[in-house]
Amino acid sequence: PMGDDAVDILKELKARLLNGSIRKFSMDNCAFDPSRRQLEVDSHNPNGYYKLDLSDEKDTEICKLLISETKRRKTDAWRNEKLNNQRITLTYRFIHDSNDDKGWVPPTEGILEVDFCVVNHAEPGTSPMDPDDFRILTRVMENSSSDGGRLAMLKQACNAYYLDVSQALTILFKFARDSARENALVIMFAHLIDRKNLALCHAALSERSRFNLHKRIGPLYMMNRSDPAGRYWFDLFKRDDQRALRMLLQLKRNDPTGQVLDVHYTKEIGGLPVQIEPESETWSILLGSSGSETAMGTPESVATQGILELTYACARQGASALKLALMQAFEKKDAGKGPGIGVPWGGGPGVTGRKKDYPGDEEVGRRGSHGIARVTSKEGVTRAASKEGAAKGSRPEILVINSRPGTRDSGAETQQGL
């Protein structure tokens, strides 16, 4: 307990942080930054949330560095842009071509907020972090007493290594708060070698966090094509979001159970959202005035401006496909080398998988509300065995199971013979 005097001191420090008289305050194993903002631009991994006072020389320099990164990478890296709490849009084309092709010049005052998100494309054949190094990283993160400290360690690691999605999933479970998991995924996103499997990270994210990451990373990467149901947010000024909308419409066309619900569209920046009925004339105009379709049956063009928010509902037919994808990820982890990945199945803690010596037989232990069960894949057939059914097996089973959550060694790899 810090006592009343310490609370008063912290309140004063908070006030000074908010009015800008000091930029950051930190203590041993403790840090406080009320804005969650980035205070510098890392050219290796500039991803993160920035809140910049454009009347401040240092913040203006950060803004110029972000502009330079955008021009160098030639991509729509700015998301959730706001100036003085009013929505604006800053596309790559606008930043590069405005001001008679001299490029966008930021204003000299105002508060600019932006989520900056880019991709570092790895060279072909790039390997993820070495399993031994990854194990050291996760152990060090476990020993940190705060999510802020873990985020700082993760950012340093990402400057030196690439990660795969299974490693990213393990890391996400090291964070206690949803907001910290969001920030961790944004940091790792630039250094993932298999972003096409990013949907596997949904297991570590709440529904709210997934929706927030639609805004921060974009629906093109956050969409789970196996189970696409959920709430979507498209910034149609951005080409990647236009592409993601066409992909979702293609999934709907191919799935008779698919439905688009609760559609809201804001055409003009700063305008009010308007509710649109799916399949109405306005909806058809939104999806392209020409009405032409591609060979895949999706609109050839969609609206190129505005914010579109909608809910997509469908039968969750992709659950078995997701489990199979998880087991394929487990297969790539050698028992003596891989760190395993943690997935909270049911109501319990994480789980790690281990490759067996039996040809064609992969078994993954899981701890749910009914104890330990097994998911077995043989020659492409997936089935789940209950705890009682697994006990009737005639040969010994080896599972690798994480320790209980809340302990210091939660997530550490242990072996248990059953």
Q: What is the pLDDT of residues 260-286, one digit of tens each?
A: 999 999 987 777 888 999 888 888 888
DSSP state of 159: T
Q: What are phi and psi of 21, to 5 degrees?
A: -70, -25
Half-sphere exposure of 252 (CA within 13 A, CB side): 19
Label the pairing between strands 381-385 and 398-401.
unpaired
Between 180 and 365, the more confident residue is 180
Angstrom distance (rounded) from CA 135 to CA 319: 29
Q: What is the pLDDT of residues 39-66, one digit of tens each?
A: 667 777 888 899 999 998 889 999 999 9
Most confident of 67-76, 300-309, 366-375, 395-404: 67-76
Give the residue from 286, 189, 197 showing the smallest Cα distance to 246: 286
Apex 114 CA angle, 209 and 288, nearest 5? 80
Torsion of CA 123, 191, 237, 100, to 10 degrees: -70
pTM metric for this prediction? 0.64
CB 312 within 8 A of CB 229: yes
- What confidence score (pLDDT) does residue 367 get? 35
Q: How many residues does the chain have?
A: 418
Name the token pair of 286: 């939104």
Handedness of CA 156, 61, 86, 109 (dihedral sign): positive
**Short-list 277, 268, 267, 269, CA closest to 310:** 277
Whether 372 contacts 390, CB under 8 Å: yes
Q: Say how far residue 403 (Cα) sits from the centre of its chain.
A: 25
Query: Which of these, 363, 270, 316, lies nearest to 84 by C-alpha position?
Result: 270
Asked if pLDDT for residue 151 goes beyond 80, the answer is: yes
Tens digit of each residue's pLDDT (9 = 90 or more) over 352-409: 333 333 333 333 333 333 333 334 333 333 334 443 444 444 443 333 333 334 443 4
Task: Considering only residues 351 and 61, tell me which one the structure prediction assigns the higher pLDDT.
Answer: 61
Statement: residue 289 has pLDDT above 50: no
Residue entry with tokens 């908010």: 18
Structure-block tokens of residue 183: 């920030």
Mean pLDDT on 185-211: 92
Better pLDDT: 228 or 330? 228
6 Rama sector, left if φ>0, alpha if ψ -120 to 50, beta otherwise: alpha
C-alpha atoms less than 13 angstroms from C-alpha of 186 in its C-beta half-sphere: 28
**182, 202, 210 from 207: Cα distances, Å:** 12, 9, 5
